Structure 1
Amino acid sequence: MSSSNKLTTWTILAPLAGWIILIAGMLLAQGWLQWLAALALAGSVFAAVHHAEMVAHKVGEPFGTLVLAVSITVIEVALIVSMMVSAGPEKAALARDTVFAAVMLVCNGIVGLCLFMGALRHREQVFQAPGANVALAVLAALAVLTMVLPNYTSATPGPEFSRSQLAFAGVSSLVLYCSFIFVQTIRHRDYFLIEGSSDESEHAPPPTSAVALISALMLVVCLVAVVGLAKQLSPAVEAGVELMGAPEATVGIVIAALVLLPEGLAALRSAMANRLQTSLNLALGSVLACIGLTIPSVAAVSAAIDRPLALGLEPKETVLLALTIVVSTLTLGMGRTNILQGIVHMIVLAAYLFLAFAP
């Protein structure tokens, strides 16, 4: 958690500046606004991390990490849905590309960097293995049922589900995610609590209820600004991807990376403070929310507007997903981590990014 339990001026001004630039970008088509939007995005990200830590310190674990994970995911879903509605059938794979990018960036990027940097500073770190195992079991089921199975059904060709299959995938995803939240916050909450933390800021007095409420409201303001600015920057991102000759799927990687910045920074700060349990709660909870909330939402929108929805992964991506699940199960199954485990995750991420630009 942040060592401060008071609001600071910049955490209020940064997202407000982001909103001003966001509105200006809607009204004015000026190239220089793109640079200001990028700066405002960075400021809003850091402010979001600060407010998330304030709220988390007030409500405690695992509710604190759940606040940031679900907040970002809900707004990310809104971003994907809005782009689906405004685009044509050519964006049928947008949800799949963004969700898969989020899975790879979180499971290999955020988790790998947290394991590496945490071990670099503390040599070994411990966490609750039962909680990680529960999360990985749900992740494996969600990922296979929604992004692998569509390639092997016969009712419709290619990477698409039929209407009934899509409805089943959406409902089962929501049931799995809600079941995980029940286990995480009620039935087996102790699986996700910090043990053996040596961070002094964790024992600092929590913020007052008024300060926590303001931080909760500002967190929403920050996250909406982050997603709005990311969407505003997406045309420039698409132009850059096209200029480099990279596949269109890389746009989903860039957008997912921008939206995941607050979570990534919050998780990294926790790992550096020897609170790896918090980092894993945030990372694994985030990736589960990403699939468990996005798939039902896009399935409902696809059915409502009669828009095709391609969910099945390409063979190369399926292999990378399987590798990620196997590696995560091995590295997070013992409750103790070291620097090598972080390196393994980051190499898998590097392979994913390299093959995305050089398929």
Structure 2
Amino acid sequence: MPSPDRSPAPTGRALVAAILTRDALTRLVLGWASVAALAALAPDPGASSGSVLLLLLAAIVAVIIVAAGGVVQQAEALARRLGDPYGTLVLTLSIVVIEVVLIAAVMLGPGEHTTIARDSVMAVSMIIMNLALGICLLVAGSRHGDLRANRVGASTYLVLLVALGGLTFALPALIGRGGAFTAVQAVVVTVATVTLYGFFLWRQAGAQAGDFREVEVPAGTASPRAAATAPSARTDAETSASDAAGITQVLATHRTELLARTAVLIATVLPIVLLSHHMASLLDEGLARLGAPAALGGVLIAMIVFTPETITAVRAASGGEIQRVVNLCHGALVSSYALTIPTVLVISLLTGQQVVFAESGANLLLLGATFAVSAISVAAERVTAVHGAVHLLLFVLYALALFA
């Protein structure tokens, strides 16, 4: 997805038919029908038998995954129209909104949930950077071999991930209390994180937009490796001006379609918001009865949220779009750190809840190894299937540590 799609915009009935497809309508109806059914039944998790509890939880999770798939569909359509990096940004932000909603629902539900945000974001880190990225690199490396991501864009993501990951999971154990930030520290971390992310988005959508697009092989260049290191003849100012003109034209030409798809996307997200409360109470009861590790709740949230985006990333890898894979995987985790953590800290400040972010030594080791492997992969001249296999190994080790 190197540039915005400037094909003619559908109008009238054709536009409605293109947006409200049978699949989109099915997802909308299923989501809202489930909300109505749960409102009418008002199930009590504590009074439900084990089998009923499991069936209810499985049904709600299935509906949320289906609805999340609908959100991703509309976000992908917007992404195709807007082009990278704007399109991928829309997609990742849509997914992170769902993640924030689910975590907030659990935090604001009954019971103590001091570690749910930490467990969820750590699970997101391992699923995106090891499971999803590992599968993508295996697929891309096996099918296309000599692939090269944009080094500047990929390294930009990684420096953000290292800084935000260390801030989130290691710093609270060193300067906080009981593994949590103090109120003053939470305010400073929230402001600093949001400010850094805002600056990153400004650069990504402006002067550095070209750093997040696929590496294109110029005429007479033998391979993507040479293209990746070839100097650009365009300055940041020229790139920014060209990108601004392109996106402005797309917004003006396809305004009706973009607004309509955004409305459908919001209508598909709302059932997830409403169902998340029921899912949180059922999840609490289910984990308590099973005596399962509390971190499994975070893993479930991460799997619900990022399954549709993982499928999107694997499709991009199959098509040889390695930079799109990087944008989806690395970009999603940057957004998760930069938006989920501040939101959780604000909730903790408003409600007085303690939120523990300090991670175990095993998980910190695995996270550090993950970022190191990612950095080495970015620095390599080409991405291979072996890089993907190493990421998958790290995910297996994370699963092992989860039940240790």
TM bracket, shorter-chain basis: 0.7 to 0.9
**Bigger mean CA deviation after superposition, 167-176 or 286-295:** 167-176
1:165 counterpart = 2:185: yes
**Match of residue 201 from structure 1:** none
CA distance in structure 1 between the partners assigned to 2:381 and 2:28 by the alignment? 37
Query: Using a 3 Å threshold, how does the CA distance of structure 1 residues 42 and 306 change in structure 2: closer, same or farther?
Result: closer
Aligned residues of 2:130 and 2:395 also touching (Cα < 8 A): yes
**Match of residue 272 from structure 1:** 318
The one-letter code matched in structure 1 to 2:310 is G
1:6-41: per-residue Cα shift (whole Å, max 9, x none)? 332212221331221133123315646555434433
CA distance in structure 2 between the partners assigned to 1:258 and 1:297 by the alignment? 19
Aligned residues of 1:62 and 1:184 also touching (Cα < 8 A): yes
**Bigger mean CA deviation after superposition, 79-88 or 258-267:** 79-88
**Match of residue 35 from structure 2:** 22
CA distance in structure 1 between the partners assigned to 2:278 and 2:139 by the alignment? 32
Query: Using a 3 Å threshold, how does the CA distance of structure 1 residues 221 and 114 change in structure 2: closer, same or farther?
Result: farther
**Bigger mean CA deviation after superposition, 124-133 or 328-337:** 328-337
The one-letter code matched in structure 2 to 1:337 is V
Q: Which of the pair has more CA radius of gyration? A: 2
Query: Using a 3 Å threshold, how does the CA distance of structure 1 residues 224 and 120 change in structure 2: closer, same or farther?
Result: farther
Deviation at 1:352, TM superposition (A): 0.7
1:98 to 120, 135, 140: 120
Query: Using a 3 Å threshold, how does the CA distance of structure 1 residues 239 and 123 change in structure 2: closer, same or farther?
Result: farther
**Bigger mean CA deviation after superposition, 166-175 or 62-71:** 166-175
CA distance in structure 2 between the partners assigned to 1:117 and 1:227 by the alignment? 34
1:39-85: per-residue Cα shift (whole Å, max 9, x none)? 43343233233222210011111000100111221332233223323
1:151-204: per-residue Cα shift (whole Å, max 9, x none)? 112xx532112222222221221122112212211121110012349xxxxxxx
Deviation at 1:288, TM superposition (A): 0.8
Deviation at 1:275, TM superposition (A): 1.3
Query: Using a 3 Å threshold, how does the CA distance of structure 1 residues 319 and 196 change in structure 2: closer, same or farther?
Result: same
**Match of residue 310 from structure 1:** 356
> What TM-score, normalized to structure 1?
0.87
Q: Give SS of 1:124's match.
A: coil
Structure 2 residue runs of 5 or longer lacking an equivalent are 11-17, 44-51, 218-249
Pairwise CA RMSD: 2.7
**Match of residue 104 from structure 2:** 81
1:191 counterpart = 2:211: yes
Aligned residues of 1:56 and 1:63 also touching (Cα < 8 A): yes
CA distance in structure 2 between the partners assigned to 1:261 and 1:101 by the alignment? 12
Query: Using a 3 Å threshold, how does the CA distance of structure 1 residues 36 and 247 change in structure 2: closer, same or farther?
Result: closer
Query: Using a 3 Å threshold, how does the CA distance of structure 1 residues 250 and 195 change in structure 2: closer, same or farther?
Result: same
2:262 to 216, 232, 241: 216
CA distance in structure 2 between the partners assigned to 1:270 and 1:224 by the alignment? 28
CA distance in structure 1 between the partners assigned to 2:291 and 2:368 by the alignment? 28
Q: Give SS of 1:125's match.
A: coil
CA distance in structure 1 between the partners assigned to 2:382 and 2:35 by the alignment? 43
**Match of residue 324 from structure 1:** 370
Identity, % of aligned positions = 29
1:46 counterpart = 2:66: no
CA distance in structure 2 between the partners assigned to 1:333 and 1:179 by the alignment? 24
Aligned residues of 2:121 and 2:337 also touching (Cα < 8 A): yes
The one-letter code matched in structure 2 to 1:157 is R
Query: Using a 3 Å threshold, how does the CA distance of structure 1 residues 346 and 226 change in structure 2: closer, same or farther?
Result: farther
Deviation at 1:253, TM superposition (A): 0.5
Aligned residues of 1:22 and 1:37 also touching (Cα < 8 A): no
CA distance in structure 1 between the partners assigned to 2:378 and 2:274 by the alignment? 34
CA distance in structure 2 between the partners assigned to 1:335 and 1:222 by the alignment? 41
Structure 1 residue runs of 5 or longer lacking an equivalent are 198-205
> What TM-score, normalized to structure 2?
0.78
